[in-house]
Amino acid sequence: MPLATLNDVLTELKDKPAAIGAFNAHYLDIIPHLIKAAESQQAPLIMQITEATLQNSGIDNVISLSMRLIEKSSIPIVIHYDHGKDIDRVKACIDAGFSSVMYDGSKLPYEENVKRTKEIVAYARPKGVSVEAEIGHVGTVSGEGGDAFYTHPDNASEFARITNVDALAVSIGTQHGLYKDTPKLDIERLKSIHRKVDVPLVLHGASGVPDEDIKKVTAYGICKINIASELKAPWAQAIRDFQKENPDEYDPRKILEPAHKAYVKAVKEKMSLLGWNHAAVNH
């Protein structure tokens, strides 16, 4: 199937109680497993690649492997560059073959975020590449961010209109990483943002958010939900368990097999939770 963009997979969900999972592929070997997991669910996939992954695996290797698999796939797949902060690097990803990019200017002053996001949109749009941006700032569980950085509904509305982005990430109480305490989402703030913003909304830092809250946010404009830490944690635990039970094993293929299975299991569970199905989309 041809490579998809965020517009291809998110537009029809904007007013539906469903979302698509955006799952991080942390290294080359995990990409085929992620695609197979999505195919088994027959759900669209947003495959997220971070700068750390590109530094580890190489941008050309990521794109060439992904494209070979996507061309044979039966589901829509987006290759999305996540949290790009350097404009030249974001443009390089567009040129390399990513079908979607996120420019993250959320820590910049509002006017500078607008200016740089507009530049990325102007570069991406003629090439058929979708653009996600962030207003407000989703920090980390280690302490960066907080309620002072929550998205203001009026700012979100103006930002989306001026920049003409295809999707907008908002800050309503989530953080990147694994939570020590249960996060408390500002659903009323999200409702207000949803009423004022016409583009699909994105929830970052969804690893560890209770299932009932995930279902709530999909009813108020959240169409893309990012999952990373909840994939890494079971992957790592599976390796620890395997090595404890098999202390003399040194074949990396055997060591990684249970890790890949744990990753796939986590992806499938999240896809089932998110509610993407033909009934949710078509009614």
Q: Catalytic positions, please?
A: 82
> What residues have CB less than 8 Å from 280, skipping those under 6 apart?
16, 17, 18
Distances (CA, A) of 122 to 3, 106, 107, 126, 202: 21, 19, 21, 7, 21
Q: Is the pTM of this model over 0.85?
A: yes
Residue 276's pLDDT band, with cuts at 50, 70 and 90, is: low
- The 10s digit of each residue's pLDDT in 46-82 is 999 999 999 999 999 999 999 999 999 999 999 999 9
CA distance 22 to 226: 5
Per residue in 103-123, pLDDT (tens digit) is 999 999 999 999 999 999 999
pLDDT value of position 18: 85
Could you tell me the two tokens for 181?
């305490």
All domains in the chain, ordered by first residue: 6-282 (3.20.20.70)
